[in-house]
Amino acid sequence: MVISNDSDLAQAIQVTQTELGVKVGLINPHPRDRRSRKLRELDCLFYRQIPQEALAYAQMPEVVHDAKGPIRKPEGW
């Protein structure tokens, strides 16, 4: 299973499947309108989309605290 939308992985996935005989499943963490065509063209075991709501729910809070004080995530994350 590969969780990515990076088309640079297409060749590595293709080699894994054709030369090693290992089927790969793809999970895309990006919005549907930004899907990689190169990855979609591969003959993968499965191709799934992670809903944006699920990704948002899985994010850490804006600020977390440890023994040294608050830790804030960078702007734009």
> Residue 18: which residues within 8 A CB-CB, separation 6 or more?
none
Torsion of CA 31, 4, 54, 51, to 10 degrees: 40
Please provide the average confidence, as pLDDT, over all residues in the chain.
92
Q: For residue 56, what is the enclosing H or E element?
A: helix 52-57
- Residues making up the chain, counted from first to last: 77
Residue with tokens 């499943």: 25
Who has greater pLDDT, 36 or 74?
36
At 25, is the pLDDT very low, low, confident or very high (cuts 50, 70, 90)? Answer: very high
Mean pLDDT of 53-69: 90
Share of the chain above pLDDT 70, in %: 100
Is the pLDDT reported for residue 77 higher than 80? no
Q: Is the pTM of this model over 0.75?
A: no
- Distance, in Å, from the CA atom of 16 to the CA atom of 36, rounded to the nearest integer, reads 18
The 10s digit of each residue's pLDDT in 1-14 is 999 999 999 999 99
